[in-house]
A and B are shown apart, each in its own frame.
Chain A
Amino acid sequence: MSAHTSLRLQVEGVSKRYGAVQALSEVGLEVRPGEVMALLGENGAGKSTVVKVLSGLVRPDSGTVHMDGRPVDLSTSGASQAAGIAVVQQEYSTVGALSVAENLLLGQRGARLWWNRGFLTRNADHLLERVGLGHLDSRTPVEELSVAEMQLLEIARVLARSATLMILDEPTAALSQAEAGRVLSTVRSLAEQGTSIMYITHRLEEVFAVSDRVTIFRNGRSSAPEETATLDTAQIVRRMLGRELGDMFPEPGPVDDKAPVRLAITGLTAPGVEAPVDLSVQRGQIIGLTGQLGSGGSALLKALAGFLPALSGRVELEGEPVEFASRRGGIAAGVAYCSPDRKRDGIFDGLSIEKNLSSPWLDRVSRFGILSRRDERTAAARSASSFALDTRRLGSSVGTLSGGNQQKVAVGKWLGCDPRVLLVDEPTRGVDVGARAEIYKQLRSLADDGMAVVVCSSDTNEIFGLCDVIGTFHRGVLTSLAPKEHWTEETLVREVMHSGNAQSETSSEVGSP
């Protein structure tokens, strides 16, 4: 085809079948030089298989791949790198104890056998400049960087391999919105310098911010690329799901000012919550806390869960003061908590859905210490079905589920102990659009059933769409708290971003105390 020469990457007719599963069927994909191509699709739609094909980890059954018009061999990951393809992984591959400059040299092809400081620094400064980390001293140990800086460093490491096509797989999944902005602007500037970029994300607003065109995957098939500017969110979601999503966010229940207060917090401080917090949650309400990462919302939830000791203040559940010095105390008081990092401490990766679901309420299905497997199964099935999890798959291990279904397990396990308060930190991190809507719907229906729900998220869109009362945190201080009607999405974003700017200004002026 004549089009070959003007395209950086052209993938044609790539299919891959695993046993009875058709992971990819006749997938086509193209990226122009200096273009940002967004790859969208639900988990399991085929995006990651395509990335694996391009990075030489999976050999397709059929199809061709051209780079700059020439057919390329992608049989090994070395061959893929040699062809100019580089993948920035979600997991960081940097070595914490080494300096930024040293990390940049790790795994670089054709690196010198011995280095001196001068060479290291020259090599590093150039690369850091290109990813917007020019201010960074290349001698800093990597473990002192922020998460966003680590992500940018990861991109710089890939740049060091002089790639012409860079694949970014959810680079902002662990970043707050403000930090994600830095990554996005780096992506744009790399594209302007001529690098072609394939950008995979679950955050639709990023697609509009950064991409030139969009390719959508569904059930192992790819759509023809479309100009981003000609699309809107609804159209993208419809193409991803193959159906209308309806509204992403469920309708809140009727406002009832006289609804009893479920959870009342007065003057609470805790590690990470610097100024006393007053907050009350009425029956049926969802409270949303937002801010940049580490700004205090997460710490407040942890303290309420009994995981961090509260330093001062009172917490009342339905009018009764509660004091929980441990997570078990919190659970006994009826407080369910889902941490932002479900892989780390939200799920048991290697165990079945059933064993995961029953983990907090084993006592309820046992007598004299003997488990009743039948009761366990019945109760687990009840939790599973109310969270739209397939009850026939209770026996499969949670590690095999998509991010969305894992999150449903992490939240759903608490239903079995009839909690009075549900605290959820980052309810939809790494969760695809379809599962997101289900989780929102579920949180809303739990609130309607009378549970007090407090959600903390760095995704302001989510907080704005889901919650009845919204508070923003900045540097450990609850800086604003108001019912949803008092906010617009714009004022909310501004509140979060503005305090972020104020923070960096003051810190650079004042310096470290």
Chain B
Amino acid sequence: MTDTTASALVARRQEVSQRLTRWAIPTVFAVLVAVAAATTSDFLTFDNLRGVLINTAVTGIAAVGMTTITLSGNLFSLGAGQSAMLASILFMWVASTGGSLVLGVLLALAVLVAIGLLQSLAVAAGLNPVVTTIAAGALIYGAVAGITGGAVVSAPTSAVGELAAFDLLGIPLPVWVFAAFTGAVWLFVERTASGRRLLLVGSNRETAVMSGISVRAATAWAFAITSIGLAIAGVFSASQLGQVTANNLSELTVDAVAAVLVGGTAVSGGEGSAVRSAVGALVIVVLQNVLLLHGLPTGVRILTEGILLVAVISVLHMARRKAMR
């Protein structure tokens, strides 16, 4: 009896906007693919699609991991590129000294998670996440550039390259890992108590504290998962390139943030998903691919990407505001 017209009305509006936020990106994706298939003969070839997936994997893994920071209400890690670069360097360094690839991967994971947890302590204590992660990125870059002296770190390509080139059913390992990591992060948020708490802290920090949820633990989980993603991204990138410098992966931060935003995860936290960010990353790469196949110059490609980003974010933002009022 108490729920009458107005709340039913709001509920209806919210439903519409939920549908919009949920289906906007898959729709954009489908349209892009359809346009690409119709206007270019090369797009739907196995090699091109495989290339698209390989190109998405590194950014996608970073974006999927970073989604947890956004969901927890801590915006983004703006030191993502530098962290992944550090993972690349560590992996390559172990490989160049003759250590096993597994050891390199484990070292990259351990160091990045440790750095991530340190950042999470600062952020949970109330430091602005943007400032904290930019600072961390600068420190990492400075340290790496200082130690390597800007030199190229490389290892015998054949050994290092195996990781990125390892092929299963015609699809290389990074793509499989991208899919698996997306699934794992999604499961973590949806099906574990820690993941749910992360979401609750992002939705309303004050209410979470009042409900006895530890902001510090939730933030630590978010930064740890993001760091795992960045370590994997860094390792694959190093493996693909065969050599690394401190200036590698400098665009990863912006690309990963763009993928999270295009995917439609709320910047304010508490709403979104890893799967959406994965699709967001795919949309960006497919768009770039289509423009490339049409032979458009780099400037136009970046401009178009920017326009897509602005359009998607505006539409989602307006849909959310409509839902609230």
Q: Which residues of the other chain, A, contact B6 by a CB distance below 8 angstroms?
A: 23, 43-44, 46, 48-49, 402
Give B1-45 as 1s and 0s: 1 = Cβ < 8 Å from A's Cβ atoms.
Answer: 111111111111010000000000000000000000000000000
Chain B, 155-213, CB within 8 A of any chain A CB: 191-194, 196-197, 199-200, 203-204, 206-213
Distance (whole angstroms) from the CB of A50 to the closest CB of chain B: 11
In whole angstroms, how far apart are the Cα atoms of A45 and B7 in the complex? 10
Distance (whole angstroms) from the CB of A208 to the closest CB of chain B: 24
Judging by beta carbons under 8 Å apart, are B214 and A366 in contact?
A: no
Distance (whole angstroms) from the CB of A353 to the closest CB of chain B: 11
Q: Which residue in A345, A358, A362, A400 is a CB contact (below 8 Å) of B204?
A: A345
Among B10, B193, B200, chain A packs the most CB atoms within 10 A around the CB of B193
Query: Secondary structure at chain B's binding surface: helix, strand, loop or mixed?
Result: helix
A327-B210, A348-B200, A369-B194 known; A46-B5 Cβ under 8 A? yes
Q: Which residues of the other chain, A, contact B270 by a CB distance below 8 angstroms?
A: 348, 350-351
Instruction: Across the interface, name the chain B residue whose C-beta is closest to A24.
Output: B5
Q: Check if A370 is an interface residue, CB within 8 A of chain B.
A: yes
User: Which stretch of A14-22, A60-68, A121-129, A472-480 is in the interface?
Assistant: A14-22
Q: Check if B305 is an interface residue, CB within 8 A of chain A.
A: no
Instruction: Across the interface, name the chain B residue whose C-beta is closest to A344.
Output: B206
Instruction: Across the interface, name the chain A residue whose C-beta is closest to B268.
Output: A350
Give B259-271 as 1s and 0s: 1 = Cβ < 8 Å from A's Cβ atoms.
Answer: 0000000100011
In whole angstroms, how far apart are the Cα atoms of A373 and B193 in the complex? 10
In whole angstroms, how far apart are the Cα atoms of A18 and B5 in the complex? 9
Instruction: Across the interface, name the chain B residue whose C-beta is closest to A22.
Output: B5
In whole angstroms, how far apart are the Cα atoms of A351 and B324 in the complex? 12
Instruction: Across the interface, name the chain B residue whose C-beta is closest to A241.
Output: B1
Judging by beta carbons under 8 Å apart, are B2 and A400 in contact?
A: no
In whole angstroms, how far apart are the Cα atoms of A399 and B204 in the complex? 12
How many chain A residues sit at the interface, stated as a range, is 35 or more
Q: Which residues of the other chain, A, contact B193 by a CB distance below 8 angstroms?
A: 362-363, 366, 369-371
Judging by beta carbons under 8 Å apart, are B3 and A405 in contact?
A: yes
Q: Which residues of the other chain, A, contact B203 by a CB distance below 8 angstroms?
A: 348-351
In whole angstroms, how far apart are the Cα atoms of A84 and B5 in the complex? 29
Distance (whole angstroms) from the CB of A24 to the closest CB of chain B: 8
Distance (whole angstroms) from the CB of B124 to the closest CB of chain A: 14
In whole angstroms, how far apart are the Cα atoms of A511 and B9 in the complex? 52
Q: Which residues of the other chain, B, contact A42 by a CB distance below 8 angstroms?
A: 2, 4
Judging by beta carbons under 8 Å apart, are A348 and B207 in contact?
A: yes
In whole angstroms, how far apart are the Cα atoms of A11 and B105 in the complex? 73
Instruction: Across the interface, name the chain A residue whose C-beta is closest to B206.
Output: A345
Judging by beta carbons under 8 Å apart, are B9 and A23 in contact?
A: yes
Q: Which residues of the other chain, A, contact B266 by a CB distance below 8 angstroms?
A: 350
Query: Interface residues, chain B, CB within 8 Å of chain A?
Result: 1-12, 14, 191-194, 196-197, 199-200, 203-204, 206-214, 266, 270-271, 323-324
